Amino acid sequence: MASWKMENITNVMEFEPIAREQLPKMVYDYYASGAEDQWTLQENRNAFSRILFRPRILVDVSQIDTSTTILGYKISMPIMVAPTAMQKMAHPEGELATARAASAAGTIMTLSSWSTSSVEEVASTGPGIRFFQLYVLKDRNVVQQLVRRAEEAGFKAIALTVDTPRLGRRESDIKNRFALPPHLTLKNFEGLNLGTIEKTNDSGLATYVADQIDRSLNWKDVKWLQTITKLPILVKGVLTAEDASLAVEAGVGGIIVSNHGARQLDYVPATIMALEEVMKATRGRVPVFIDGGIRRGTDVFKALALGASGVFIGRPVVFGLAAAGEAGVRKVVEMLHDEFELTMALSGCRSVKEITRAHVITPWDASSPRVAPRL
């Protein structure tokens, strides 16, 4: 792996073994692992493989338009960057490199609350459409201050993570006694005595979350957030129709179907399996997005065919960043875009709007093909 060349990379999954070789074990395990048995971690990928295409033929696909509009902002593709924490553990330029890469690609970056670059530093990298992912801490003054800073820095939406009242049991982090390397800080909390994650006898992050995250977070707090910001609030972590309906009733700006990269509760459905349940509950009243397990342009197409307005990419971005900094992130986004465009062409879709439910077959469709038993 030491002699790899960017031009020899053919898909985003090839960055992971490079990142694994280059990163300290504690850091790689933090990015790569899921909760407990990691069943959902595998299922996030496997579920996509059970969805098949119904391609249409003899459509003039000489011109393909992958652009779309998200919350009123036109972007080059329905492929956006998910929030991933502490990116300077992966590369010295961390979130700054990711921000520049997303902007160059004409798409949206979401910055984590637990970033190793501040909202102001990310904004200083230049123009770009950016969302801010928010954890609600026990100290609401800190939350209010952080939201205000994101708004003043030009961020366009708040992605409120709602599936983390406690941290999922990530056994790799426990074994490695995960801690934020001492030369790094959680930049958004610098000066508030909240900027470090120290080594403990357990996962330092689990201890940090237990100490700082507000476990009482509920739907009333979504209303409270709406009183302190004019930005649309996307609720990130929805997996059921019931919660999707409550989110719409709460007046959110959108929903992100997410199982936190399979890092919270194990044995929840893959996000692509939960998507249609959420779509039916929202009935088109708010945009619905999805993250988790997306590694191919075909995955992006499948998500849009099942109703998603766009997808967010997490681990591939971090592994591309670890391997080659900004150039690695650019390559990840570029490859996913090119695969998505090819999938559109081979399915007979000239624009994102032409991607429909009729273009895919799912295991729960009555017409789904069955594999013949082996005789």
183 is known as an active-site residue: no
Largest pairwise CA distance in the chain? 69
CA dist 273 and 183 (Å) reads 40
263 annotated among ligand-binding-site residues: yes
**84 marked as binding residue:** yes
236 marked as binding residue: yes
Cβ contacts of 107 within 8 Å, gap of 6 or more = 75, 76, 77, 79, 80, 81, 129, 333
d(CA 348, CA 262): 33
Interacting residues of 333 by C-beta distance below 8 A, sequence separation 6+? 79, 81, 101, 102, 105, 107, 313, 317
According to DSSP, the β-strands at 254-257 and 288-291 are parallel
Q: Catalytic residue among 91, 183, 260, 359, which? A: 260
On whether 256 is known to bind a ligand per the annotation, the reply is: no
Round to whole Å and give the CA distance between 321 and 317.
6
Q: Is 226 annotated as a binding residue?
A: no
Known binding residue 19? Answer is: no
Q: Say if residue 258 carries a ligand binding annotation.
A: yes
Residue 295, marked binder: yes
Q: Is 221 annotated as a binding residue?
A: no
Angle (nearest 5°) at CA 113 between 136 and 300: 105
**293 appears as a binding residue in the annotation:** yes
- Kind and range of the H or E element at 68? strand 68-70
Instruction: Report whether 112 belongs to an annotated binding site.
Output: yes
Q: Which residues are annotated as a binding site for glyoxylate?
A: 30, 135, 170, 260, 263
Active site members? 260
Q: Which residues are annotated as a binding site for FMN?
A: 83-85, 112, 133, 161, 236, 258, 291-295, 314-315
Q: Which residues are annotated as a binding site?
A: 30, 83-85, 112, 133, 135, 161, 170, 236, 258, 260, 263, 291-295, 314-315
